């Protein structure tokens, strides 16, 4: 029979991580009750002018930090718990009343408060089991029952109660191996049960999930529209600036050809040909017009009279 050593190693590492996570779960569960007490006091003091407006949002911020931490811990076990809160209004950043109203009118706030007490109980129980079972296995594996029996004369472990001899104490080793293996195997499942319980109250309801999707789609659509508008403005700017630059270049080229028409008709003809080719490449619709323009206005080389008529008819101003 072939043993999957790599699989056993992965399972052991997963179990150890779950045990450490269970230790954290016990510590975090102990903070739920003080948070709940502070939140109740803050709600009771709500009618007090100014004090309630400042105390309730501050307290609920602490509660939300605790529940967000629980959501992240649940997601690490494969149980996805998304954030259910309403988006923060712009005025709520500086306006105390708007922030207070945003906090108390969000149903997720009251679901967070409803989770604190049962979440503390469930987290404490499951976390304690996830820690104590592997720890009890380690006690047997390290012959602790034998050492206690040698010092006190009476002790028991696992199925052996009581340990009357040192040989009976040695039986704690195989029992400890089995209990430790069971504890490491059970610890991830205990963490998953705790995460599933947290999802009951900390996950968004169907209505809240639909509202969050609508909000996300609205924000995405607004971002897409803004990006398209910016791209259109960029294209319009590029078209305007690029066409204007090309027209200025064409104007300078024709102006230079106008200055050279008397002294060097061949060079002027070459510059006008380059201008025509450039214009046809950038604006194909202008090719026909440029051909007509050339035939009507371009004089043959050496003809001064026709050169004068071309200058009078086609001078570029």
Number of residues in the chain: 317
Other Cβ atoms less than 10 A from the Cβ of 31: the count is: 14
pLDDT at 142 over 80: no
Tell me the C-alpha distance between 61 and 55, whole Å: 10
Question: Mean pLDDT throughout 230-248?
Answer: 66
Percent of the chain with pLDDT over 90: 26
C-alpha 295, offset from chain centre: 66
Complete DSSP assignment for 57-74: HHHHHHHHHHHHHHHHHH
Q: Which pair of structure tokens corresponds to residue 93? A: 């950043």
Looking at mean pLDDT, say which of 35-49, 147-161, 254-268 comes out highest. 35-49
Q: What pTM value is reported for the model?
A: 0.61
pLDDT of residue 272: 76
Q: Does 194 or 142 have the greater pLDDT score?
A: 194
């Amino acid at each position: 029979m072939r043993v999957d050593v790599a699989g056993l190693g992965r399972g052991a590492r997963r179990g150890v991580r779950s045990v450490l996570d269970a230790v954290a779960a016990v510590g975090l569960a102990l903070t739920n009750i003080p948070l709940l007490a502070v939140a109740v006091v803050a709600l009771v003091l709500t009618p007090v002018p100014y004090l309630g407006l400042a105390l309730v949002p501050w307290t609920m911020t602490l509660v939300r930090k605790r529940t967000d931490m629980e959501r992240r811990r649940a997601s690490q076990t494969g149980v996805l718990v998304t954030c259910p809160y309403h988006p923060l209004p712009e005025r709520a950043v500086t306006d105390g009343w708007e922030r207070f109203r945003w906090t108390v009118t969000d149903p997720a706030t009251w679901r967070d408060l409803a989770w604190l007490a049962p979440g503390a109980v469930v987290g404490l129980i499951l976390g304690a089991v996830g820690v104590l079972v592997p720890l009890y296995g380690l006690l047997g594996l390290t012959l602790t029952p034998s050492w206690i029996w040698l010092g006190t004369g009476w002790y028991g472990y696992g199925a052996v109660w009581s340990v009357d001899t040192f040989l009976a104490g040695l039986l704690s080793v195989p029992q400890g191996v089995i209990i430790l293996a069971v504890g490491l195997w059970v610890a991830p499942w205990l963490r998953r049960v705790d995460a599933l319980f947290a999802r009951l109250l900390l996950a968004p309801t169907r209505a809240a999930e639909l509202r969050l999707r609508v909000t996300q789609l609205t924000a995405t659509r607004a971002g897409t529209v803004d990006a398209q508008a910016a791209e259109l403005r960029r294209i319009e700017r590029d078209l305007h600036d690029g066409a204007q630059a090309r027209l200025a270049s064409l104007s300078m080229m024709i102006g230079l050809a106008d200055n050279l028409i008397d002294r060097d008709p061949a060079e002027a003809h070459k510059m006008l040909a380059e201008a025509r080719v450039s214009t046809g490449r950038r604006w194909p619709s202008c090719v026909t017009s440029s051909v007509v323009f050339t035939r009507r206005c371009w004089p043959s080389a050496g003809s001064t009279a026709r050169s004068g008529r071309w200058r009078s008819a086609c001078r570029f101003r």
